[in-house]
Copies of this chain bind each other. A is one copy, B any other.
């Protein structure tokens, strides 16, 4: 397999964008990535999208988006793994470049979520759970993650304040991200007093519904310096894994086993361990998810992530900065785009171009992108070469 590098990244300002369609958002992000890389063509493209069908009545994004980008007849593939669709699109593009089949591959994600019919977004998102055994019985994602949070609190003594600190920290980062949907500071009191959604999760524990897109350009590492003026960022590790889709089928609600397995594979490929990761973007769809994930990644021991967060260890100036972009919580969560949005942040930090939110001296970052309540996960490790 050939080594693979990221040589271009593109994104647009995420938010509630009623005046723009899915194709508009995606083309902006894709062109930004192509322009950033400085390439004059692509050989193949991948689009991560969770549900074009349910959100905007549009499937067949391969043809639609190749068409609107003006790159037909380039092969195009849409990849879906619920909220991990973007990360899985990167995985597919990585494999295509590594295989030798294609040299310059666009990987991307998009979701247009805010102007579906009433109640439609919650219904569409719920299709990431087990429709027959969870959704039809009334489960929603806030409810499923609330069960995880209750279990975690009971077993490890996590406090409501510690949980809220995840949101406070991520908004502290997002306020410095020009592409974030909600770039505002959020006090502990605001999080603690926000509307109850599914006890113990309140509104400010939940990531928002977002319209957005992100893209990146991959090529063989050996061609990177010839193709682009940008410093090549190597995709040194990749791993993907699945778990039982329904929360009730797992022996331990708080152990995200797909994340454990995906991370193991990524660490093995990169030849590093969790201690050698300088910073990470992780899937904080709910505050409790960030805590479980950073434990599954091996950054913190089981049951200690809440205390570590409250102590500032995951802040930008902490020992393991997490979600310097603002995370799903503040940057927004256009589900199919999130995994590539994470890559945008890793590359921006690794290039040293993250401005006020730059973490000094970072050389290696990890992105963890998760579907549903943890039924699928993909991890990538990116590093300066």
Asked whether A96 is an interface residue with its Cβ less than 8 Å from the other chain, the reply is: yes
* Contact pattern, A 219-250, Cβ under 8 Å of B = 1, otherwise 0: 00000000000000000000111111110010
B127 in contact with A66 (CB, 8 Å)? no
Closest residue of chain B to A97 (Cβ to Cβ) is B99
In the bound complex, residues from chain B placing their C-beta under 8 Å from that of A59 are: 50-51, 54, 80, 82, 127-128
> Which residues of A in the span 8-63 have a Cβ within 8 Å of any Cβ on B?
21, 50-54, 56-63
In the bound complex, residues from chain B placing their C-beta under 8 Å from that of A57 are: 123, 127, 131, 135
Partner of A77, one of B52, B71, B79: B79
B80 in contact with A78 (CB, 8 Å)? yes
In the bound complex, residues from chain B placing their C-beta under 8 Å from that of A96 are: 95, 99
In the bound complex, residues from chain B placing their C-beta under 8 Å from that of A73 are: 241-243, 257-258, 261-262
B131 in contact with A67 (CB, 8 Å)? no
Asked whether A129 is an interface residue with its Cβ less than 8 Å from the other chain, the reply is: yes
CA distance A261 to B240 in the complex (A): 32
Partner of A75, one of B63, B240, B249: B240
Partner of A60, one of B1, B56, B81, B257: B81
B1 in contact with A63 (CB, 8 Å)? no
In the bound complex, residues from chain B placing their C-beta under 8 Å from that of A261 are: 73
CA distance A64 to B372 in the complex (A): 10
- Indicate how many identical chains form the complex: 2
CA distance A135 to B66 in the complex (A): 19
Which secondary structure dominates chain A's binding surface?
mixed
Rounded to whole Å, the gap between the CB of A75 and the closest CB of chain B is 4
CA distance A100 to B98 in the complex (A): 9
Asked whether A326 is an interface residue with its Cβ less than 8 Å from the other chain, the reply is: no
In the bound complex, residues from chain B placing their C-beta under 8 Å from that of A240 are: 75-77
In the bound complex, residues from chain B placing their C-beta under 8 Å from that of A242 are: 62-63, 66-67, 71-76
Asked whether A375 is an interface residue with its Cβ less than 8 Å from the other chain, the reply is: yes
CA distance A80 to B79 in the complex (A): 6
CA distance A245 to B77 in the complex (A): 14
| Interface hub of A61, A101, A135, A245 (most chain B Cβ within 10 A) | A245
> Which residues of A in the span 366-385 have a Cβ within 8 Å of any Cβ on B?
371-372, 375-376, 378
Interface pairs A-B: 7 shortest CB-CB: A63-B375, A99-B99, A75-B240, A73-B241, A60-B82, A66-B242, A73-B261
Known interface pairs A62-B88, A62-B371, A75-B242; 5 further A-B residue pairs with C-beta atoms within 8 A, sorted by A's residue number: A53-B53, A59-B127, A60-B371, A67-B246, A73-B261
Residues of chain A whose beta carbon lies under 8 Å from any beta carbon of chain B = 1, 21, 50-54, 56-64, 66-67, 71-82, 88, 91-92, 95-96, 98-101, 123-124, 127-132, 135, 239-246, 249, 257-258, 261-262, 371-372, 375-376, 378
| Interface pairs (16), CB distance under 8 Å | A1-B101, A53-B124, A59-B128, A60-B82, A63-B242, A63-B245, A63-B371, A66-B242, A75-B241, A76-B242, A77-B81, A77-B91, A77-B240, A78-B80, A95-B99, A98-B99
